Structure 1
Amino acid sequence: MLKRFFQAASISCILSLTVACATSPTGRSQFTLFNEQQLAQMGSTSFEQLKQEEKVLKHASTRNYVQCITNQLLRANNIQGSWEVEVFDSPTPNAFALPGGKIGVYKGMIDLAETPDQLAAVIGHEIAHVVAKHGNERVSADFATQMGVAVLSGILANRDKPNDQLLAALGIGTQVGILLPFSRQHETEADLIGLDLMARAGFDPRQSINLWQNMAAKASTAPIEFLSTHPGPNNRIRTLENAMPSAMQAYEQAIRSGQRPNCKKP
């Protein structure tokens, strides 16, 4: 679904290419090449196309429930900007985020998340992707990799006896060695940022672990993590458990300050 956006972004951003040294909310150095406003516009365009292609859920109570959680996360964490969350009528337990504050949540994920706190973990995770500018990093990494492969491929292809197997291995190597681990890093960072966002908004961060336990139980098969863009459920749970003490402090402080979400699951 998001592949189309990242391909379009890589092509249309070439003329506005600028290297930026940025830092993520967790203090990680970031490699970003593209203008955030332009990416936001493309994210908005892609989101509108998705709403035309995917079936949008019309159930008012469910939509209000998702919006209630989103509003609480944004308001409690003083996250500014124009945000839009859409609910898609699909049994797939999935959610996604696009630059420009666009978030999609599938009904299957709402069903899987047994409590508002668990759904807050999902939506907080997606907000984190946008806040941390992961879309820009992914487009930048993809663009830089494609340019490097194109240059090296041209050199190899001009030899008297080009090595087709080497060219094929070059594409596989960059995909597994650079792009997929990079995306797994984003997922882990979004888990940690999302955990903090939900805790500060008064959602119980311990429910994030229950969410991933539910996800692991539902998955009958799972890809090998080394070839996956997402960390395995067990690794995600360990990461969340390690960060739980500080999250609980933020949660308890939020409760004391009056952050008590009132979002009721239909």
Structure 2
Amino acid sequence: MKKLAILLAATALLTACAKSPTGRNQLIIVDANAMTKMGAQSFEDMKGKEKVSTDKKLNQYVQCVAKPILQVLPAKWQDNWEIVVFDSEQVNAFALPGRKIGVYTGILNVTENSDQLAAIIGHEVGHVIANHGAERVSQSTAANALMAGAAVASKDSPYQGAIMAGLGLGAQYGALLPYSRLHESEADVLGLKYLIEAGYQADQSMALWQNMAKLSDGKRPMELLSTHPAPQTRINNLAKHIKKYQSQGVVAQMPRPSCKI
């Protein structure tokens, strides 16, 4: 039985190669429909447990900022996104498989304008388009040779913990676990491209992380001990890719958005 399990795991590893939008090799052994189901279910659970904002102007603002970003995504990704604003002091936002976006009101205290909020939304959507959730689930479960596709798809699966971590959700819905530094950097790069194409100001993506650095007040752990890149590392990487996109002719595909609370 043990040998069979090892054989199955090895087979999965050899046949599950995929590529991210940046061309990076990925291990994906999780069915896309299963991830969509898990993302949608997790989002519904969150809406039942977290306080959803009923502030009409605030919701309109977030929708206004997100719309141009969604309009410049690859064609198959442009439609059927659900966006919910959660009334919470958490400085966070997320996107889940199943085309779900959550924005916490606390993040609006850090973003100084619509460009910076768009940078966050573009980044979070980048995680979904790059299939980071499925990649994390695959990495977490590949070590267990007895994993089966049916188990992954089941809400009562013994791999539920790995699945929730892959989605970026902790045991308590709304407590977001970080993606890896590699995933974060890749989502930054993808989100920056969407930001530029949507007509937002690219340099505001760097200003956002300057704000984040101030928020941490020098208490951030060493980068090597963290799963997130340090703010300055992200700023440097964004600056490099702004120049790269300029050289490649990446430009706005629509007029500069005008969104106000």
Identify the TM-score tier after normalising by the shorter chain. Answer: 0.7 to 0.9
Cα deviation, residue 252, structure 1: 7.5
| Higher-Rg member (1/2) | 1
What residue in structure 2 maps to residue 85 of structure 1? 83
Number of the residue aligned with 1:56: 52
Partner of residue 215, structure 1: 212
Match of 2:28 in 1: 32
Distance 1:37 1:261 in 2: 33
Runs of 5+ consecutive residues of structure 1 not aligned to the other structure: 1-13, 149-179
Identity percentage of aligned residues: 46
What SS is found at the alignment partner of 2:17?
strand
Q: Is the 8 A contact 1:125 1:193 kept in 2?
A: yes
CA distance in 2, matches of 1:36, 1:125: 20
Query: Does 2:102 match 1:68?
Result: no
Correspondence for 1:187 among 184, 188, 191: 184
SS of alignment partner, residue 180 of structure 2: helix
Superposed, 1:89-128 pairs within 5 Å as: 89-128=87-126
| Structure 1 residues 53 and 200: CA distance shift in structure 2, 3 A | same
Q: Which letter does structure 1 place at the counterpart of 2:20?
A: S
Return the offset for 1:258.
4.0
Structure 1 residues 20 and 97, CA gap change in structure 2 (3 angstroms): same
1:113: how far off? Answer: 0.5
Shift of 1:71: 1.2
Equivalent position to 1:259, from 240, 251, 255: 255
Verify the 8 A CA contact 1:200 1:250 in the aligned structure 2: no
User: Could you report, residue by residue, the CA deviation over 1:71-126 in whole angstroms, capped at 9, with x for unpaired residues?
Assistant: 11111334334211211111121111211111111111122110100000000001
Q: Does 1:232 align with 2:230?
A: yes
What is the distance in 2 between the residues matched to 1:204 and 1:250? 17
Which residue does 1:206 correspond to in 2?
Answer: 203
Contact 1:199 1:250 in 2 (8 A): no
Q: Which runs of 4+ in 1 moved over 6 A?
A: 249-252
What's the TM-score, normalizing by structure 2? 0.77
Flag the structure with higher helix content: 1
Q: Partner of 1:103: helix, strand, or coil? A: strand
Could you tell me how far 1:251 is from its partner in structure 2? 8.6
Matched residue pairs, number? 217
